[in-house]
Structure 1
Amino acid sequence: MMLLLTACDPGSSEVVIKTICPRINEYDAKTQDRALAEYNALPQGSALRLFIGDYKQLREQIRVCRARGAATK
């Protein structure tokens, strides 16, 4: 164990942390309008409404991740 501890010089070690955020697909206005109309046509209790809400939240989390990454560059 001592050999392993003496092999590393903590004074010269540098830790680099890189955050990698997923890419967000961008959609044109026509596609967004069509998606909204289809969403509004779903029944109130539709499971798809839940899934779409989760997807919206995930996209917002990715935007925050990317903003933080841009701020540290």
Structure 2
Amino acid sequence: MKTSASVNALLALAALALVAPLLSGCSPVTYKTVCPTLVPYSITQQTQLAEELVAAPDAPMLHQVVRDYAGLRDQVRACQAKGK
């Protein structure tokens, strides 16, 4: 019976020796950050927006939303710069 047990142990070690390289050969998971795409605005459009904001000083919510959007655009630019 000892021979059977040692043969089984030897077969188990041989199987482990064959499987271990297959398991260790897996490449690590890599993640890629995908940044949103910015909508480009022409100088004319930017000038028109600035004029409309100056013309509407009594619209604080509009001004807040535009500031928030500008901040988001800055974050997207930073994300895109890291990806280069």
Q: TM-score, normalised by structure 2?
A: 0.67
Higher helix share goes to which structure?
2
Q: Which segments of structure 1 move beyond 3 Å, counting only runs of 4 or more?
A: none
Indicate which of 49, 52, 64 corresponds to 1:35.
49
Unmatched segments (≥5 aa) in structure 1: 1-5
Opposite residue 28 of structure 2, the aligned amino acid is: E
Partner of 1:46: 60
Tell me the matched-pair count: 64
Opposite residue 50 of structure 1, the aligned amino acid is: Q
Larger radius of gyration: 2
Identity %: 34
**Cα distance change of structure 1 residues 46 and 64 upon mapping to structure 2, 3 Å threshold:** same
Unmatched segments (≥5 aa) in structure 2: 1-19
Please, what is the CA RMSD of the aligned residues? 2.0
